Each structure stands twice: as structure tokens, then as C-alpha cells.
Amino acid sequence: MRTLQQRLAEGVVLGAEGYVFELERRGYVKAGPYVPEVVLDAPDALRQLHREFLRAGSDVMVALTYYAHRDKLRDVGRDGQLEDLNRAAVRIARESAAEGDALVAGNICNTWSYDPENPVRSGAAVRAQYEEQLGWAVDEGIDFVIAETNDYVGEALIGLEVCQALGLPAMVTFASVQPEQTYDGYDYVEACKRLADAGAAIVGLNCSRGPETMLPLLERIRGAVDCAVAAQPVPYRTDTHTPAFESLENPDGSRAFPIALEPFACTRFEMADFARRAADIGVNYIGVCCGGAPHHVRAMAEALGRTPVAGRYSPAMELHPVLGTGEEVMGNCAAG
């Protein structure tokens, strides 16, 4: 099995996330709390989505432990199952990865416990949550850690330190919700540089921004750090007026995030284009976040020159009964 570092040295590593959004759409996760109860309640549904991302070409199976920390499980009255859920999520990711040639990533994220006004006391609570989550993950077997949707440099550094203490390579990414800076006041480029200087294997951005508003930041991050850079945007059409998808609005002024985002969805072609452009500027780990689905990942894999298993069923529009002839479509969707 090639390690993360070997794969990064050879070329782009393709990731795939968005498990929580996709499983919510499929009826296995509750929007609002977004706690991954599916791990315990419907493990086969999770296994199936891992398998679909694997067939689409993802090099990494990410354990679904996003928001599976003590505070969040307490919110839904399941903190007694914290360890079971964390262990099962890693086990399912590992078993899925073994169906192909994928790495297994443990996953931690912003905890909502960190308080920049009180970094020592709140930081200790954050550290304890990361230590217990990653302790179980290491026990079950992971290759590296993705610490993601970080809002604070202070909290991100704690995540990195816990990974380092466990001897695990860490990919640390920020959610660029605000126009320029993290919530503790670092320019996103400077934030990534801090994490790179502290020894992260990969730094970058995930979630919040779509391709168009993430790329300019990525270019600046690439120029500022020597380590590998990661980019996992949301597949939504954010723009300079609304750089983060949390603020996208419907025509009537209502908020589209998080469960009415369909009108802003990127096509597979737009995500394939993103993968090419990110690779061109030297991004090393390319994936998708919330909203991403297997068809996006497959198109991105193919744009990067891969031949994923699911490529067997990639479009062959020349064989469509009407579109293939070049004649005008007469209203037969041929979708069966």
C-alpha cells in the first residue's frame, strides 16, 4: 500500500467528502444537528456511499466521525455511544478502503468548544475531545488525519499537536467562511502558513467556498507554503458577491444553506474543470466537500487522467437515441 507521502510525491491525491450532506439527502442524517448517527443506525448506507466514492476514483476513505465528538453527541442524547460510533466509523472506512487501493483518514473538525477569548481553558476541552476521538481511530487503524472546517488557527494547532503526538501525518484545512480572515483574525493564507510551519503534512481549504471563490485563495496559499496544499470546495456556484455558500440566497431573499442549495449546484463538468485548474496551480490534494456526490468525483478523476472503476459507465452521449444524432430533442428524456 502506497503511503500518503508516496502518493503526494507521485501526483495529485483525489479525495471525496460530503458524506453528511449526501446521507442527509438519502434520509439517514438529520439536518440541523448533523450528527452522523447513520454510522450506528444504518451502517450499510454508509458503506454503500464509501463504495460509490471509491468506484468514482477517490484515493481516500474518510471515516465519518465529523461532529462525532462529545458535545455534539450530547446534543442528540447519544453521548453514551461516542466510542462505539467513532470506532465503527473507522472500521467501516477501513473495510471500504480495502475493497480498492485507498488510504483511510481519521477525521476531526471544529468542535464549537474553542473560545479565542479563553484559549487555554477552552483549548484543554478541545484537546481532550480530539485525543479521545483520535485515540480510538488509531486503535482501529488509520493512515493519516484530516482536521477540517477549522475556523480558528488556535483550534487547528491543537488538532495538529494531537496528531503529532500520535505520530500521524495531518492534513489541516480551514473553512473560509469570511472574506479574508479566520475567526481569530488570521488571513487565510497566513493561517495555512502557520500550520505548515508547525509541521502539517498538508494545509489548505475545505467547505464553505465553491470552485470560483476558492481558487484565488488557493493560488495565494500555494505561493506561501512549501508543503502540500489541499482543496475540497463545495460544488456550489459561489461568487465574489457571496464567496461562501453559507450566505447564498434564493430569489425571495431566504437562505439557501444548507438544505435548499440545489439551484446553485455545480455540474460534473464544472467540478472536472475545477480539478484541472487546481492541479494546474499546484494543488496536491483535490476533492469535494458538502454537496459533493460520486458523479462529481468520477468526472474529477477522469479530468485528472484517471480511469476509475465507475468510468465503465461514464457518459457516451453519442449513443443517446436523439442527442447522439445531433437532431433537436423532442421531449424524450430517455432517463428510464
**Which residues sit at the interface with Zn ion, rule CB under 5 A?**
207, 289-290
Query: Is the Cβ of residue 140 or residue 266 nearer to Zn ion in the bound state?
Result: 266
Q: How far is the CB of 257 from Zn ion (least distance, A)?
A: 11
Query: Is the Cβ of residue 290 or residue 299 nearer to Zn ion in the bound state?
Result: 290
Q: How far is the CB of 14 from Zn ion (least distance, A)?
A: 17
Query: Is the Cβ of residue 62 or residue 201 nearer to Zn ion in the bound state?
Result: 62
CA dist 76 and 78 (Å) reads: 6
Instruction: Please list the residues that pair with 206 across neighbouring strands.
Output: 232
DSSP for 26-55, please give it. Answer: TTSS-TTT---THHHH-HHHHHHHHHHHHH
Instruction: Please list the residues that pair with 107 across neighbouring strands.
Output: 146
Spatial CA neighbour of 249 closest among 235, 267, 261, 236: 261
The torsion angles phi and psi of 193, rounded to 5 degrees, stand at -60, -40
User: Residue 318 — left, alpha, or beta (φ > 0 → left; ψ -120 to 50 → alpha)?
Assistant: alpha
Q: How far is the CB of 20 from Zn ion (least distance, A)?
A: 8
Please say whether the dihedral angle defined by the alpha carbons of residues 184, 188, 192 and 194, taken in this order, is positive or negative.
negative
Query: Is the Cβ of residue 17 or residue 140 nearer to Zn ion in the bound state?
Result: 17
Q: How far is the CB of 234 from Zn ion (least distance, A)?
A: 6
CA dist 232 and 283 (Å) reads: 10
Query: Is the Cβ of residue 123 or residue 210 nearer to Zn ion in the bound state?
Result: 210
Q: How far is the CB of 149 from Zn ion (least distance, A)?
A: 6
Spatial CA neighbour of 287 closest among 90, 12, 67: 12
Query: Is the Cβ of residue 66 or residue 127 nearer to Zn ion in the bound state?
Result: 66
Rounded (5°) CA angle 325-326-327: 90
Q: Could you say which DSSP state residue 311 is in?
A: G
Q: How far is the CB of 42 from Zn ion (least distance, A)?
A: 21
The radius of gyration of the chain from alpha carbons, rounded to an integer in Å, stands at 19
Query: Is the Cβ of residue 178 or residue 314 nearer to Zn ion in the bound state?
Result: 178
Q: How far is the CB of 292 from Zn ion (least distance, A)?
A: 8
Query: Is the Cβ of residue 24 or residue 140 nearer to Zn ion in the bound state?
Result: 24
Q: Are 173 and 205 in contact (CB under 8 A)?
A: yes
What are the residue ranges of helices labelled H in 185-320?
188-197, 211-224, 268-280, 294-303
CA dist 157 and 167 (Å) reads: 15
CA dist 93 and 82 (Å) reads: 17
Q: How far is the CB of 289 from Zn ion (least distance, A)?
A: 3
